[in-house]
Each structure stands twice: as structure tokens, then as C-alpha cells.
Amino acid sequence: MGRKSFYLMILVVLVAYYTYTPLPDNVEEPWKIMWLNTYLTIFSNVATVVELLGFNHFLDSLSFFMSLDEVPPTSDETVTVTETTFNNIPVRVYVPKRKSEALRRAIFYIHGGGWCLGSAALKSCDQLSRCTADRLDAVVVSTNYRLAPKYHFPVQFEDVYNSLKWFLRKKVLAKYGVNPERIGVSGDSAGGNLAAAVVQQLLNDPDIKIKLKIQSLLYPALQPLDFASPSYQENSHFPILPKSLMVRLWSEYFTTDRSLEKAMHSNQHVPVESSHLLQFANWSSLLPERFKKGHVYKNPTYGSSELAKKYPGFLDVRAVPLLAEDSKLRGLPPTYVMTCQYDVLRDDGLMYVTRLQNAGVQVTLNNVEDGFHGAPIFQTLKIGKRELNHYISWLNENL
Ligand SMILES: *[C@@H]1O[C@H](CO)[C@@H](O)[C@H](O)[C@H]1NC(C)=O
């Protein structure tokens, strides 16, 4: 064998090693997903090495890789795209070009990225907002917010809340031709967390007279109390969002001190004083039977009180929407929840659905049986197109 073919062989083996991930049979286009995952794994491995060498925070490297995928706010034949600020928070606004006699519906959208990554300018987010505006003939506001590791909770929450409150003012709604009775809040992943949190907060806000028409939570992260739910156990190594990454993102929302991450990873972080909160994230009582199959609920091992005193955010309802009391949930608008079967966050969404239903809120659950984290925003995949259609048609009927 010549030297060239030897190197070639090594390259092929390396690529195959990186790329090949066994996937369940019902997952469509497995090779495309493996490719997607290969990029992410390479970026994530490079970021890990760079961090180990002491050059750059893991998430700052990931954030740099992701920013390569940002696009400018370009208007097209159907939608006018502009950038502005709401209460000093940068936002992108999408307004359909076609003439409208009536005031329009509106979606306030919050991007995902684990409170650490992403922006309204990412190509996938920009496309989603554009498409939502065009297909619903609606105004879409896609908000940014300051990110970890530079900023921690409650900055992300407050930025989104302040931006939303700015939008909900009469003057601003009139400027964009929005019908105040037909406004919804939507977000994916960590954006779904922020969406659920700000929509709850709005209920008790004396400044806001507007009642939201709907909320939509796409594969949201809703609790960091129990990292051993069936979905965390089943999907801890699934492509796109392994448990280790999700735990890192959750802990970075509160602090860059890695002792919280360590405690979360072994599920020993909720202190005994807060044990009463665990009922709100108890999968044994909140998950439908079919999702519990093969899993035995273990009572929690309690963590250090000091950690919880230092970083109280992880027990704060503004970061953990699942902790809201029933009395609060009762006031929430009709809700769309999309969960993905092969996603560590699946049970967060499912538990929230149960809690909302118990509180009498009208809920539509779409558990995507062949879905994985983020599938609906990958518009190059068939599953992305299909689930986008489901989401858009729900909005069309309910907003
Ligand atoms: C969780 O729910 C199960 C079944 O309803 C119950 O036996 C268990 O004590 C609960 N645990 C906590 C911590 O709430």
C-alpha cells in the first residue's frame, strides 16, 4: 500500500468513526442526521480541547462557530425585515409586504441555544421567522437577549421580558399594525423555557393589560431539578443534544463555577430544604404511563445547601416554569407543546403538559415520534418541513 492510500484509509476511518451513530429504525434520513451530528461533534470536541488548553471558554468557542451561520436582515419579495431595539434589546422584525385591511396577528419569538448560544440572526432562526410571517400573514418579532457565560440568570429572562413588554405597548403595536387580541409568544429549546417563563410572569404584571392569545413551546427545557427522567436516561447520548451538554448549558445559565454542573450531572443538587419543589418535576406522577415504561423512579439524593444558596436561580420559577403553582398555571392561554421522542428534554415538555391539563389549560401536545432535539428547525430534513407545517397550521387555527 502506498503512503497516499494509507493516509486516505486513516482519513476514511476517522470520518466514519466521527460520523457513524446508531439511530432508531423509525428515524428518517439517518445519514443526513449523522452528518449534521458530525459537524456538531467536531466543533464540540475542538471547543473542549481549546478549553482544556486554557485558551477559551467552551461556549465562547461554540458561539464563534455558530456565528458563522448568521445572515443579515434582508427583505425578500414577501417580507420586510428590519433590525431595531426594544427597551435596548436588539430585535429583528418581520412584516409581510402584502396589503392588509385588518390589523395583523403577531408572534413574539425567542430563539434557542441553551441561554448561551444563538441569535435572531442565525440562518435557521431567520428562516423560521420569515416563513412564519409569510405563511400566517403575521408580524414576527424575533428577540435577542444577552447570553452566558458572560451574563447569567436572571439577565436572559429580564432581557426577554423587557423586550416583550416594550412590544406589548399600544404605540408599538399600532406602529406595526398588530391586533392586540391576537398576539402569541413562541420559542424553541431554551427559548421555549424563556417563553413559558415570561408568559407566566405577564399574568401578575399590573402594567400589562393585554391578554396573550396563545403560547407555543417547541421542545422546551423546563426544569433542572431532575436529570434522571426517562428521557434523560434514554437519550443521554443521542445526537445533537447529549445529557452532558444540556447539563453544562443549564449550569452555565446560573454560574460558570463548575461545581454546580458536577452536582447536576450526578443529580445531587437540590437541597433537602427544597424537597417540596420536587413534586413539580416528579416524572413518576406527571408522565403518562407509556413514557415511564421500563423505568423505576428513585427518590432523590439531596445536595448541598451552600450551592443552592449561592446559585438560587436553579430553584427560581423564572428559570424553572415547571415550579409554578396551579393557581398561576390556570391563567395561561391555550398552549402548543412540541416534544421529540429522542430528546433529553422530552419529559420536561410532557410534564408541563400534564400540569397545564390538570390546571384546566387548553393544551395541544405534538410528541414527534421520530423526532430528536431541534429537528423542526432543520429545514434540510424532511422531518423539519413536516413539523414546521404542523406548528404553522396550529398557529393558523389558534392565533
Ligand atoms: C414522586 O411520585 C411518586 C409517585 O406518585 C411518589 O411515590 C414519590 O414519593 C414522589 N417523590 C417526590 C420527591 O415527590
Q: Each residue of 342-381: pLDDT tens digit?
A: 999 999 999 999 999 999 999 999 999 999 999 878 888 9
pLDDT at 317: 98
Largest CA distance in the chain: 77
Structural domain including 81 reads: 76-399
Q: Say if 10 falls within a structural domain.
A: no
Burial per residue of 154-191, b for 16 or more beta-carbon CB atoms within 10 angstroms, e otherwise: bbbbbbbbbbbbbbbbeeebeeeebbbebbbbbbbbbb
Three cell numbers at 116? 448561551
Whether the CB-CB separation of 230 and 210 falls below 8 Å is answered with no
- Residue 298 alpha carbon to ligand 1 centre in Å: 9
- Residue 350 alpha carbon to ligand 1 centre in Å: 17
Within the chain, which residues score under 50 in pLDDT? none
pLDDT at 75: 98
Q: Say if 242 falls within a structural domain.
A: yes
Three cell numbers at 331? 391563567
- Structural domain total, the chain: 1
pLDDT at 234: 97
Q: Say if 225 falls within a structural domain.
A: yes
Distances (CA, A) of 136 to 18, 274, 321, 359, 395: 40, 44, 28, 29, 8
Q: Say if 17 falls within a structural domain.
A: no
pLDDT at 21: 77
Q: Say if 316 falls within a structural domain.
A: yes
The enclosing domain of 104 has a CATH number of: 3.40.50.1820
Q: Establish whether residue 292 lines the binding site of ligand 1, counting it when its CB lies within 6 angstroms of any ligand atom.
A: no
Q: Say if 1 falls within a structural domain.
A: no
pLDDT at 88: 98
Three cell numbers at 119? 441569535
Q: Say if 259 falls within a structural domain.
A: yes
pLDDT at 113: 97
Query: Going by CA atoms, what residue is nearest to atom 9 of ligand 1?
Result: 299
SS (H, E, C) the chain: CCHHHHHHHHHHHHHHHHHCCCCCCCCCCHHHHHHHHHHHHHHHHHHHHHHHCCCCCHHHHHHHHHHCCECCCCCCCCEEEEEEEECCEEEEEEEECCCCCCCEEEEEEECCCCCCCCCCCEHHHHHHHHHHHHHHCEEEEEECCCCCCCCCCCHHHHHHHHHHHHHCCHHHHHHCCEEEEEEEEEEECHHHHHHHHHHHHHHCCCCCCCCCCEEEEECCCCCCCCCCCHHHHHCCCCCCCCHHHHHHHHHHHHCCCHHHHHHHHCCCCCEHHHHHHHHHHCHHHHCCHHHHCCCCCCCCCCECHHHHHHCHHHHCCCCCHHHCCHHHHCCCCCEEEEEEEECCCHHHHHHHHHHHHHCCCCEEEEEEEEEECCHHHCCCCHHHHHHHHHHHHHHHHHC
pLDDT at 39: 81
149: nearest Cα among 243, 232, 261, 43: 261
Alpha carbon distance 113, 339 (integer Å)? 16
For 165-220, how does the pLDDT look when each residue is reduced to its tens digit (9 = 90+)? 999 999 999 999 999 999 999 999 999 999 999 999 999 999 999 999 999 999 99
User: Residue 71: which residues within 8 A CB-CB, separation 6 or more?
Assistant: 121, 122, 123, 126
365: nearest Cα among 282, 284, 278, 290: 290
Alpha carbon distance 399, 393 (integer Å)? 10
| Residue to mutate (ligand 1; options 285, 287, 323; most atoms within 8 A of CB) | 285
> From the CA atom positions of the chain, what is the Rg in Å?
21
Q: Say if 180 falls within a structural domain.
A: yes
pLDDT at 342: 96
Nearest atom, ligand 1, residue 279 CA: 14
Query: Do the bridges between strand 79-86 and strand 363-372 make them parallel or antiparallel, or are there none, so unpaired?
Result: unpaired
Q: Establish whether residue 278 lines the binding site of ligand 1, counting it when its CB lies within 6 angstroms of any ligand atom.
A: yes
- Residue 333 alpha carbon to ligand 1 centre in Å: 29
Residue corresponding to grid cell 390556570: 330
The catalytic site residues sit at 189, 343, 373
Query: Going by CA atoms, what residue is nearest to atom 7 of ligand 1?
Result: 284
